Structure 1
Amino acid sequence: MKKVMIVDDEIGIRENIRNCVNWEKEGFHYCGDAPDGELALPLIDEWAPDILITDIKMPFMNGLELTSIVRTQKPDIKIIIMSGHDEFSYAQEAIRLGVTDYCLKPISAAELIQILHKVSQKIDEEQQRMTSRTITKEKLLADLCGGLICTTDAIESAKRLSLSLSARFYTIAILDVQLREASQDSESRMNKILHILEEARDPHVELLPYIRSRTELVLLLKCSSDDSISIYLEQLRSQVRLELEHEFKCNIILGIGSTQERLQGIHISYLEADEDKYITRLTHQNKASLREINLDEKMNLFLDRNRFLEFLKIGSPSERDHFVREFAAPLQSIDWKSSLYGFYLLNDLTLESFRMTSQLFRMGAHSDENITCLQQTIQQITCWEECVQYLCSLLNQLWQRRAESSGKYSDVIDQVKAYVSRQFNNDQVSLKTISAHVRISPSHLSKIFSQETGQTITEYLTQIRIGKAKELLKTTNNKTFEIAYKVGYNDSHYFSNIFKKTTGFTPREYRAQGSEELQVRPLNKQKEPIYE
């Protein structure tokens, strides 16, 4: 039942309203009345009515003054204003103060009951909306990770929970705790793990955790510095994970997603972390299977996994066959029909290739299915030639992912190149100014530019500056220090040093040669520092 209170300076009106309504039958509880606003205030605190009916003109404290105080201190109370004055100014003020309804004296019992039911329905509707919008911290984090809540709703829900979601960077980490011994107290164990993770964190990194299952813990890391998150994650991968495994006699499979700059990016980081966890679990299983293999079989075998991963990053289809045959040559001695070691080596190489590729290019929702299919293919290999075919197929599949992902940041790369072409002569150009221009964080911009172009922003800026300097050396009589200034270098000695390390000649030697043919004496690239 909704509780109703009356405030009116005329005792006859208070008694008439109290006696003319069958409160219980109508679904209300009449909690009492007061003769003016000042006396009503302590009673409102004591009785906590849902609906307050108040006259406007009263001594000591009138209805509008009372309404103003109640609306400020107890905004959930619905207020019905009564007045014997049919004046629009009263109605205007009442509406401004946010009253729920406004009526004129005298009012019949039927009219009052109708208004009370109307206000009661409004209370029910608001409570239903609030109930449907009620969300726990765990539900909010799960919805963010699952991509089930928009940014506006997430911020509003976090505000109701007194939880700050605002940050420059977000990253998801998933811990799968696999016990070596059976245990029932999973909640207590997870809370202890959380305590250790909290103690180990960088002060600049905030952890927002939720327990996804009896064995899985999801961490939302938020921070104002990308570097701080990276440092904490590195600790999590190494000493913190080892400490947890020793303390709780368990194995921890860790999955880590990419760092994102928007709330909606949390879902992407979560998918990547889940995929990384899946690949890590398969890697552990693959290493466990190694114990079943006769050590004598593999004593003389060596497979340079890093060499394969490097070729995966920068190799081309035209070089593929020659590279694979040379790379796989040590596997010719394996008896593929009777030995498991070949499966172990190829499976391990496949998992690491997927891991690296997923870090460079998102692998999509079905990468686990791809890995499963590839593992089935490895199990069917019966000779070295089939091994070579498999490795070629693996490269093709991952290169296809690379091709599909290329161009994703083409607009950003074009903006960077256009900006550098206009501002190369400005000595204040830096990674920070370029990232501000394209509205992407310096660390993320540096990563995607290198990924898409094969060179750092520093190398590209140096390439543009030195290219323009070569043009000026051939087409003008400007002195070296003048050319240095025109291409963005304040220090002519530093310019000369960069020019020689890039072209193989000093500016004076380059001008004296007068021939493009002498530009081909390359030396090692010198990275020009980008100052933040």
Structure 2
Amino acid sequence: MLKVFLVEDEFVVRQGIKNKIDWKSHGYEFCGEASDGELAYPMIQKLKPDIVITDIRMPFMDGLVLSRLIKKEMPWVEIIILTGYEEFEYAKEAIKIGVAEYLTKPINSEELLKEVDLLADKIEEKRREQEIKEKYMLELEENSLKERKELFQHLVTGGKSMAELLETADRLDMDLSAMWYNIVLIKIQFMNQTHDEYSNILIEIEERMKTLDNETNLLIFDRNLEGKAFLFKADSKEELEQIQKDYIDRLKAIWADYENVRYFGGVGEPVNRLRELPGSFEAASHAFAHRYLVGESLILSSRELEQRTYGNQEEFNIRSVNPKQIDRSKMQEFLKMGDKDEVVYFIEEFFHALDNSAMNSSLFRQYITMDAYFCVSDFTEGLGFARDEIDAPDAAAGILKSKEDAVAYVVRILTKALELREKAASNRYGDVVDEVKRYIEYNFADEDLSLNLLASHVNFSPNHLSTIFSQQTGQTFTGYLTDYRMNKAKELLRCTSKRSSEIGLEVGYKDPHYFSYLFKKTQGMTPTQYRSEKTGKERGE
């Protein structure tokens, strides 16, 4: 129901407009009145009416000044000015301010109501257009997020040609052109936080990080649970490294404000061709995988990693190795938090951290592979899987005959463990997705149903839920909801004689124009054409 506010200094006129029109029966709420602009303005700020009817000549503050103030603070409010003065200058000023109607007094109730009705239609049309725009933008944003993730994967795997990469980037309004590139992988973790606290802090940190965005030299890609990837660009290697350093320093300053936040980053090697980005990504991934081997917050470059890993190594002596000192917790943490794409990087860093020359000893290889086996099998048993899901090390089969065979074996069993973890998580997330589907089933007619609303319902961040939903169903949330609503609409078109506008309302679309547009877009025909075709077939025509 639209709200109407009246400003008129003549008491008799004000009472006549207020009482001679049955506002409620015509679909309006008469929300307030005032005798001049000075009294009216704070009331209008508080009540936020949709339509203001005001006299032009009033004491203390006239209608033009009031209109100017309203339009400045609340530009959506429509204004009708009433006046007994027909000077052209008043009309020109009113139009300049953005007043919708300029009516001369005296005006009877029927004429005023007619003008209010016309204005109400205009307001409703604007609202419908805004709702369509917002829905379109939400759908566009979700699809764009998915395309950005896919673009990043193609950039770092070399799965697309240069022309295809540039075409996709152009469609996403992203500029990939530069002389030098580098990739930095970053993840922040929250220690000792509840899920709600974690979500609130993450939102706050991400909002602060957005203030640092500089799309000229930086593109940011969401990697879901694995944090974010930062693609730095510059015209020279020196400029690239300086931009990268300054940005990371500013990120660290933000994170330092949060006591329970731990961060880790892996910095790749600069490259001067877009098609060389997979090399930069691999270097960053090696450094990034080192986060399971250290306890402190750290941004580690591939060059620093090389110094840490290979510098000042002593010749290996098997007698000096104490198996109890080997930290199994690093592998356990990787099993809980790592990603399949990181297994190779993690294992390489894990063995280098122990002592690369140690792997030349068959005795040490036997110990470390057995320890990895028991660590992995304990983990998978904890997930509810049988121990024989993991292949035991078999010296006779050649697993322990060389360093390369031992590494390959540990990579294989860790990869298998993460696949089983994904399977278990899929079952767990399956319950969440099932709950989302149930919620859609019972609430699809609610026009306000959204990803944010459902994320709040299942206590997930919208981004996380969007990723899980897509992985589990193969569809975006918006796509699934649209399909569900369209199927319900087709059912109603086939089985009832309801009008298209009624059906649209029943499946969650208050605006019949938007419903018709979406139906044709997804089904290839209008609702009327669909009904005619289906009922014709059922009659055997």
Query: Greater Rg, structure 1 or structure 2?
Result: 1
TM-score normalized by the length of structure 2 = 0.36
Q: TM-score, normalising length from structure 1?
A: 0.37
